[in-house]
Amino acid sequence: MRQRIVTIVVVSLGIFAATLGMRERGWLQDPELRSRDWYVRHAPAPEAADSRIVVVEITEEDIRELNYPISDRDLADGLNALVRADARVIGLDIYRDLPVPPGTARLDALLRREPRILAVRKSADSDSDGIPGPSALRGTGRLGFNDQLLDPDGVMRRGLLFLDDGNGKSDYAFALRVVIAALEPDGVHPAPDPEHPEWLRLGPTTIPPFAGNDGGYAGEDDAGYQFLLDFAESAGGFDTIRFGSLLRGEIEPERFRDRIVLVGVNARSLPDVFLVPLRNRAANEKHPGVELHAHLVDQLMRYGRGESEPIHVVPDSWETATILLAALLGALLGSRVRRAPAIVGAVMAGAAVVATGGAWAYWNGWWISTFSPGLAWVGSVGIATAWTSSRERAERAQIMQLFSRMVSPEVAEEIWLRRAEFFREGRLRSQRVTATVLFLDMKDYTPHAQKMDPEQLMEWVNGFMEPMADAVRRHGGVVDDYFGDGLKANFGVPIPSCSEQAIRGDACRAVDCGLEMASELDRLNRAFRTRGLPTVAVRVGIHTGALVVGSLGSADRLKYTSVGDVVVTAQRLESLEGDAHDYEQLPFRILISSQTLSQLGSRYATRALGFFSLKGMEEQVEAYRVEGRVDRPGIAPGVH
């Protein structure tokens, strides 16, 4: 558990810091903005309503008919038709700083006498001196700049309301001029916000200025009075009319009455187009500047009439907390889930929740960053999974190193599946279990070994040890040590026996193993005699009780073993002298303790030998010699 907590904390904080760093450097701004564009393009359709805005376009066909620039006479005729139709406000999105005769005087006169007509101009910047508006409108307050803001990817997502004109005064945007004029008959005027006097208020709506880190932005230029565009036009877009149709009187005046009319160009030969995210439109579709002004005007009109609110953004601290939460949840998932399909499904589900939540929030007026927490989620799941998998591979290798030669592959796999019981903080944990320990020793090994050359000695010992160890494994035991002339085996480990029945089974399997070893010894001794090798007499000691199992040694040389008085008692029983056993007659002796005998039931024939004081043990131990199986009379030490 502690290791898992460390993994979760380290991975989540690391991914959190990395994500936050990338966000602050602006590396995540582009996907954040594209996520918002997706929300805009897939927003639910608004309620159907007649647009308050009419767009009059000078199209490619109009240019072929009227030439371009449109003459002052034709422009004056078109504007005059809109005045007679009683349009509320007329916005001219065409540069007209120079006369285009004929009809210049007529156009100037119309512009001077008609307060409902406004026009655009371009502000001066480092690249140009700007483009002034019509001379007839200069100083009238009916000129507005049409400078637009483009994000680094060329998409327009922000609008400008004011710019500093360089003389300490605020210059008005064209769209804002149009909206102020359109709202004036309704008694709605721009005013400072009561709580933030430097903020603009239109009717009941305060428009907070854009800050460089709002929404998915990261350190973007926020000079001037900027605001976020929502592009939430009414269903069906804007009523659009060709300029030529207007001149020829083909349009009913009712289509213009009390509406805002914007006049501009929409022709391929005169590209004035922008990339903007619009509902049900392709991401790479460009839109004419006059349509863009219509969106700006529509949004500001909705604000002035209290029909909608500016897009809300959460504080930076909330964004940071969201990223941290996503990283924590991802690390938690990665540290717990093991199967690849489950991980992939969970990652996709989490990403879907983040994306869906972001879309729902945006469609309800809140822009919440989703790519950053989504990245933190995916990254922390991936890193935590890789980290956990790496640690598990190391643990599995350790388990296999410790147990692969001791137990069957099935038992080793079960140990791995139950590794939580065996490992703590990456190391095999020690356990107190009730088990049966068997010690086996070759009697008179040393005298024989001293008379044999090394190769012959190892052949003799290995020829004896291999079938003995095989017998242990066949009976479910674990050989955890070899020592020259003997071995030590445990029954009831590494998977502990938790019931009385299982503990009895361990003791019976240990005794059965000893009896099989005795039977195997007869075969080995016959083979040894044939090859001219010494025959072997064997002593076995078996004891049952509580002991401790775990790993000993350094990290790269661990050894799984058992320790405790039970181990010492089994060893002392194996080496017990004074029981008057005849090894010439019966070369195999099995001694068990009374604790082991109490687990065997009535299936074994045993002989009580009395109490013995064992070396290093304070209390005497009652020993019994196993003589065979009652239910299988042919199975006995030295009998085959």
pLDDT digits (tens, 9 = 90+) for 47-88: 655 579 999 999 999 999 999 899 999 999 999 999 999 999
Among 524, 535, 515, residue whose Cα is nearest residue 625 = 515
319 and 272 both lie in a single domain: no
pLDDT value for 249: 94
**Top-confidence residue, 32 or 129:** 32
If pLDDT is split at 50, 70 and 90, which confidence band does 258 have? very high
SS3 label, residue 458: helix
Phi first, then psi: give them for residue 54, nearest 5 degrees: -115, 135
251 and 106 both lie in a single domain: yes
DSSP state letters, 257-278: TTSEEEEEE-BTTB--EEE---
Q: What are the helix (H) ranges across 475-593?
A: 500-531, 565-574
pLDDT value for 556: 62
Q: Is 566 contained in some domain? A: yes
240 and 385 both lie in a single domain: no
pLDDT value for 204: 96
Q: How far apart are CA 298 and CA 11, in angstroms?
A: 47
pLDDT value for 305: 94
245 and 380 both lie in a single domain: no
Last residue of a domain, one of 313, 335, 364: 313
**Top-confidence residue, 319 or 404:** 319
**Top-confidence residue, 434 or 497:** 434
**Top-confidence residue, 394 or 528:** 528
**Residues contacting residue 399 through CB under 8 Å, at least 6 positions apart:** 412, 415, 416, 419, 422, 428
Q: What share of the chain is helix, strand, coil (3-state, %, to 5)?
A: 40, 20, 35
Strand positions, DSSP E, 357-430: 366-367, 423-424, 427-428
Q: Is 35 contained in some domain? A: no
pLDDT tens track for 212-232: 999 999 999 999 999 999 988
pTM: 0.69
Among 367, 241, 265, residue whose Cα is nearest residue 310 = 367
Do the strands 559-563 and 537-552 form a parallel or antiparallel pair, or are they unpaired?
A: antiparallel
**Is-contact 338 10, C-beta < 8 A?**
no
**Is-contact 264 93, C-beta < 8 A?**
yes
Mean pLDDT of the chain: 88
pLDDT value for 390: 74
The yes-or-no verdict on residue 237 having pLDDT over 80 is no
Number of domains the chain is built from: 3
Q: Is 530 contained in some domain? A: yes
pLDDT tens track for 125-141: 777 788 999 999 999 99
200 and 319 both lie in a single domain: no
pLDDT value for 639: 46
Q: Tell me, what DSSP letter sits at residue 639?
A: B
Range of the structural domain that residue 352 is part of: 2-16+314-399
Q: How far apart are CA 200 and CA 191, in angstroms?
A: 6
Percent of the chain with pLDDT over 90: 63
Instruction: Say which residue the tokens 């003995």 belong to.
Output: 468
Q: Which two tokens stand for residue 448?
A: 């024989």
Q: Is 247 contained in some domain? A: yes
**Top-confidence residue, 133 or 579:** 133
Q: Is 480 contained in some domain? A: yes
Sheet holding 190-192, edge to edge: 190-192, 200-202, 205-207
Cis omega (within 30 of 0) on the bond before 194?
no
**Residues contacting residue 282 through CB under 8 Å, at least 6 positions apart:** none
The yes-or-no verdict on residue 241 having pLDDT over 60 is yes
Count of CB atoms within 10 A of residue 339's CB?
8
Q: How far apart are CA 639 and CA 586, in angstroms?
A: 8
Count of CB atoms within 10 A of residue 530's CB?
8
323 and 309 both lie in a single domain: no
pLDDT tens track for 406-437: 555 555 666 666 666 666 655 667 889 999 99
Last residue of a domain, one of 294, 313, 332: 313
The yes-or-no verdict on residue 638 having pLDDT over 60 is no
Do the strands 225-228 and 239-242 form a parallel or antiparallel pair, or are they unpaired?
A: unpaired
Q: Which two tokens stand for residue 73?
A: 């006479």
156 and 54 both lie in a single domain: yes
231 and 318 both lie in a single domain: no
**Top-confidence residue, 5 or 154:** 154
pLDDT value for 226: 96
Q: Is 126 contained in some domain? A: yes
Last residue of a domain, one of 252, 286, 313: 313
273 and 230 both lie in a single domain: yes
pLDDT tens track for 79-99: 999 999 999 999 999 999 999
pLDDT value for 106: 96
Cis omega (within 30 of 0) on the bond before 69?
yes
275 and 126 both lie in a single domain: yes
Helix (H) / strand (E) containing 241: strand 239-242
> In the predicted model, what is the mean pLDDT of residues 286-293?
93
Residue type, 56: V
| Measured torsion, CA atoms of residues 123, 128, 132, 133, in degrees rounded to the nearest 10 | -70
Q: Is 408 contained in some domain? A: no
Residue type, 338: R
> In the predicted model, what is the mean pLDDT of residues 584-603?
93
Q: Is 26 contained in some domain? A: no
Helix (H) / strand (E) containing 443: strand 431-443
355 and 230 both lie in a single domain: no
pLDDT value for 433: 93
241 and 108 both lie in a single domain: yes
